[in-house]
Amino acid sequence: MPPTISTNMDFVWTPEQLELRREAAAFAAEGVRKYGRHNVTWMNGYSKEFSRELAAKGYLGMIWPKEFGGGGRPPIDRLIVGEEMIKAGAPIAASWFGDRQMGPALIQYGTKEQQEQFLPGILAGETTWCIGMSEPNSGSDLASLKTSAVDDGDEWIINGQKIWTSFGADADYCYLICRTNNEGPPHAGISEIIVPMKTPGIEIRRITDMTTNRHFCEVFFTDVRVPKGNLVGQPGGAFGQTMRQLEHERGGIDRLVSNYAQFQHAVSVCDTTDPLVRQEIASLEIGYRIGRILVIREVLRQAPAGFSAATKCFCTEHQQCVDSFVFRMMGADAMIFDDMVQGLIYGPGYTIMGGTSNVMRNILGERVLGLAKG
Ligand SMILES: Cc1cc2nc3c(=O)[nH]c(=O)nc-3n(C[C@H](O)[C@H](O)[C@H](O)COP(=O)(O)OP(=O)(O)OC[C@H]3O[C@@H](n4cnc5c(N)ncnc54)[C@H](O)[C@@H]3O)c2cc1C
């Protein structure tokens, strides 16, 4: 079959989209005025108050179907709002996981009871979520995870440890990826279970990273009991479900514009008459424009399956090029630890969170290019 060529490509924003962008930018600026600027990566801006305001404005669940309480709006609207929030440094972290991932996962795989129980809290900006995926000996290789949930009548009994759990200490719920079956191939026995973080048997220890951020946590589960009905989707079917969730996670605008404010600052203070500096600014601007097209393709679901791995690689590596440029433009000022520098040293994390660049290239090679497994 010849490749299908879309005839509806249009790179012009509509007047409604431009108005939405203006509105979102004003809303983000007000959020920054009230709750502070958090552009040392969006991960650092955690405000439950701002989540409620986002909800009241209709900026949470914007693209979820209306029958689930969402706005039923086109995906591009969420991209516009998200971009304005992140560029401004508005504190979106408390609502981001639920809005981006948990809600869509529950809509796709959850039972009616789960949807009724959990979606309204996310939509109202009242409940917050963390993602319990990585373990001390299991990060890239999800299939090797050890945290277990054992069937005990009406409940699951959970034992194990997670690490790098962003907001584990603040979240109401953990979207836990764990092993419910040891038989068969390793990836076949993994399930997704919702764990209320106040359940007895959960111990949480914060980790301070090198930027002094404290969202990372170690989460220990010792005989933690949760209702049987908290398993989402197919028992043992989480591997496929999680891969699809990661597709939502990897190709978003948050991968491109996390340090845009630093870029703007550097451009405003550097010597733009220097030809080498001008060349670099132009190169980075090209990167932003290519990255935005890749993200838009993901958001419109026009990219090939698995391609979000390439989008993530390109965009997050671009953010690291931005970091390098900003450091060089700041010169000796980069030795002073302030929020600008704090943001810049977050850079290595961009290509690790959500799957490392090496792993993204493996996915691209195997799933998109059809290369033999390495
Ligand atoms: C800012 C940030 C936020 C995060 N938030 C969360 C969260 O909320 N919840 C959560 O569960 N996790 C979270 N993580 C953890 C993240 O998902 C893992 O760090 C990541 O998946 C890599 O796993 P790892 O650290 O165990 O490294 P490893 O998997 O041990 O990898 C180590 C190195 O080996 C390379 N490597 C591994 N396998 C291969 C391979 N097959 N081919 C080639 N190279 C390979 C990797 O690229 C890497 O360079 C977060 C991480 C960061 C940086």
- Residue 155 exposed, middle or buried by CB count within 10 Å (0-12, 13-18, 19+): middle
Could you give the CA distance from residue 50 to residue 90 in angstroms, rounded to a whole number?
Answer: 8
Quote the ligand 1 centre to 356 CA distance (angstroms).
6
133 lines ligand 1 (CB under 6 A): yes
Task: Centre a 10 Å sphere on the Cβ of residue 139 and count the other Cβ atoms it contains.
Answer: 17
Ranges 45-49, 244-248, 297-301: which has the least confidence? 244-248
Atom of ligand 1 nearest to the CA of 177: 11
Paired strand residues for 155: 152, 227
Quote the ligand 1 centre to 144 CA distance (angstroms).
13
Q: Are 148 and 180 in contact (CB under 8 A)?
A: yes
Residue that the structure tokens 């097209």 belong to: 293
246 lines ligand 1 (CB under 6 A): no
Q: Whose CA is nearest to atom 24 of ligand 1?
A: 139
According to CATH, the superfamily of the domain at 251-368 is Butyryl-CoA Dehydrogenase, subunit A, domain 3 (1.20.140.10)
* pLDDT score recorded for residue 6: 56
358 lines ligand 1 (CB under 6 A): yes
137 lines ligand 1 (CB under 6 A): no
* Beta strands at 155-162 and 148-152: parallel, antiparallel or unpaired: antiparallel
347 lines ligand 1 (CB under 6 A): no
* pLDDT score recorded for residue 31: 96
Q: Whose CA is nearest to atom 18 of ligand 1?
A: 139
140 lines ligand 1 (CB under 6 A): yes
* pLDDT score recorded for residue 373: 82
Could you give the CA distance from residue 359 to residue 141 in angstroms, rounded to a whole number?
Answer: 9
355 lines ligand 1 (CB under 6 A): yes
Q: Whose CA is nearest to atom 41 of ligand 1?
A: 359
Atom of ligand 1 nearest to the CA of 130: 8
Query: Predicted confidence band at 1 (pLDDT cuts at 50, 70, 90)?
Result: very low
Model pTM score: 0.93
Q: Are 61 and 103 in contact (CB under 8 A)?
A: yes
Q: Whose CA is nearest to atom 31 of ligand 1?
A: 140
362 lines ligand 1 (CB under 6 A): yes
* pLDDT score recorded for residue 334: 86
Q: Are 45 and 90 in contact (CB under 8 A)?
A: yes
Q: What is the average pLDDT across 124-149?
A: 96
Q: Has residue 284 got a pLDDT over 70?
A: yes
353 lines ligand 1 (CB under 6 A): yes
Quote the ligand 1 centre to 139 CA distance (angstroms).
5
* pLDDT score recorded for residue 43: 77
Q: Whose CA is nearest to atom 9 of ligand 1?
A: 165
Q: What is the average pLDDT across 337-366?
A: 91
Give pLDDT tens digits for 109-129.
Answer: 999 999 999 999 999 999 999
What length does the chain have? 374
Mutate to test the pocket of ligand 1, among 145, 161, 164, 174 (most ligand atoms within 8 A of CB): 164
Domains in the chain: boundaries: 15-127, 131-236, 251-368
* pLDDT score recorded for residue 206: 98
Handedness of CA 287, 293, 298, 302 (dihedral sign): negative
According to CATH, the superfamily of the domain at 15-127 is Acyl-CoA dehydrogenase/oxidase, N-terminal domain (1.10.540.10)
Q: 131-236, what's its fold? A: Butyryl-CoA Dehydrogenase, subunit A; domain 2 (2.40.110)
352 lines ligand 1 (CB under 6 A): yes
Query: Predicted confidence band at 364 (pLDDT cuts at 50, 70, 90)?
Result: very high
Q: Whose CA is nearest to atom 25 of ligand 1?
A: 139
351 lines ligand 1 (CB under 6 A): no
Which of 155, 84, 95 is closest to 124 using CA atoms? 95
Query: Predicted confidence band at 42 (pLDDT cuts at 50, 70, 90)?
Result: confident
* pLDDT score recorded for residue 7: 58
Residue 233 structure tokens: 């989707």
DSSP state of 44: G
